[in-house]
Structure 1
Amino acid sequence: MSISTASNALNGTGRTNAETREKVRRIAEEIGFRPNALARGLLTKRSHAIGMLTNDTYGRLTLPMASGVSEVLVDHGVSLFLCATNNDPRLARLHLEALRDRQVDGIIFTATRIDMEPPPELTQLGIPVVYVFAQGPSDSVSFHPDDAQGARLAVEHLQGLGRSRILHITGERNYRAACIRAEAYQELAGPAAEVMFGDWSEEWGHAAIETVFSRSGAKPDAIFCGSDEIARGVIDALRDRNISIPGDVAVVGFDNWEVVSRQTRPPLTTIDMELKELGHRAGLAILALSKGETIEPGVERLPCTLVFRRSAGQGDQA
């Protein structure tokens, strides 16, 4: 048969009948034939590949997002190349040069904090860029978790359990997400409600409880933590003092990092940032932009969800 017939059969185009398509695909599989992606890219002016650049060395945030991106791309025959910068500007430039040499159709940039400045070279590549969990230019397409809405979910849940002395223990004050969550917490708990800023660590959670319970005055009956790691430190410190959880103090975390939240004793009620869904949305956006479609620029904030476990009162599930 002609080259064009074989090509149509492999690509599912033209008027090739079903029997011919099946024969061509069977023979191609038997001889191990694969279409030349580079040649196809020259014809279509697309590489059918997307780059994903991140400073997230351990993949805590990026891997769930990358999973969501991949689920979208694979249905369109597009590959994803994940590159970690380790917060090294030189490594970021090398990765961007490699992605440009590969002629990717677009790049998704992710970070470990929503206010992190991306590499300036991203705006000079001449290809679409989407930002997820990161700060993009004012004319860019960006996707963030709705930190304020997530914080309100946590506080409203604790208030719904009848808790009135809610303390907020969170991470570093210079993180925009920490400040957004703290402001939303105080909107519901009251402007005088205490916020304790510190490290994003179990050690800080433990130290914060030592500080709170060593001073005089009323003690909290609920604690909203800015991360699951902080929450685990909080819970360990409360248990060291023989304080019942959730009987005496209910605890809610933020992240739903299951390796932490499920293993906490008791299992941790927490806020899920829906990272995989963020990846889905970013994947759809970069596909559209790579095809020349127009998307309204701006930051879209996706809602968080509350995951019920046992650390925050009656009605929670394991």
Structure 2
Amino acid sequence: MVKLLLFSPTPQEAKRVGVYDNGKVIDLAKAYEILYDAKPPNWFYDMKELIEGGNGALYLINKVLNDLREVKAKVSYDPNQVIYYPPIPNPEKIFLLAVNYRAHGQEANTPPPKEPYIFTKFNNTLVGHRQPIIYPKASQKVDYEIELAVIIGKRGKYIRSSEAYSYVFGYTVFNDISFRDKQFPPESPYGMRWVHGKGMDTAAPMGPWIVTKDEIPNPHSLKLTLRVNGEIRQEGYTEDMIFKIDQIIEYLSNGITLKPGDIISTGTPPGVALATGKYLKPGDVIDAEISQIGVLTNYLVEEK
């Protein structure tokens, strides 16, 4: 149906939900106010509330877009000029899958897991399109992982795989930034350290927008490409997933209530720096692209 983003026209203005349409960002709140001479609904300021609004919220968005006509120029912005935020800056839960692409498992010399292997991140990691990733003082091995993220659209628990896609709102690009020297300590009787290895500040770039699921009828036919300073580092296809999206949702919801706005990032293809040795450095520019969605761009800034 639409590409939805969270943005502000200037640093001084409040965040609001927009639609990316034909090379422009449409300000839904401003459009509603001009068209109907009324206060815009909260749906147009909070992506999670919009998702919780379900079909009613999407119907209203389509009505606004259809009514724009002569006022469209007044509510349209250059996408290169606006400020982007994570489409959902405050999800209750962020799930990620380890080794969910066959080729990635092969490069890591890791056998395919018998069931989805899940870890989590926190809201401190989320950062939007064209925003900086901190190269932390705490790590010297900063890695990247392009992933397809699923946005949950409605509350559910014990969801059968046959019903899983009815709980999906849409999809976005996710970059699982990792700190390998923290994730894999030289000596630890307790295994990997997931919190510092995956959870430092700005370690989850996400965006630039959410594409509603009707625009991507088959999420397992998408191409993923990650470039660092223009050099292709990762390339793969979502069909290489070991556990497909419906299986992941069934697995996660077995005892855990999924809620609107929850994020599930579904794993990464091969080419990570852990395998190649090409770790990130301050000043690097990362472009993470998924077909039918778009390009998520971020740059690394050294922590002072």
Do both share a fold (TM > 0.5)?
A: no
Tell me which of the two structures has the higher relative contact order, counting C-alpha pairs closer than 8 angstroms and 6 or more residues apart.
2
The TM-score with structure 1 as length reference comes to: 0.27
Structure with greater helix percent: 1
Structure with greater strand percent: 2
The TM-score with structure 2 as length reference comes to: 0.28
Larger radius of gyration: 1
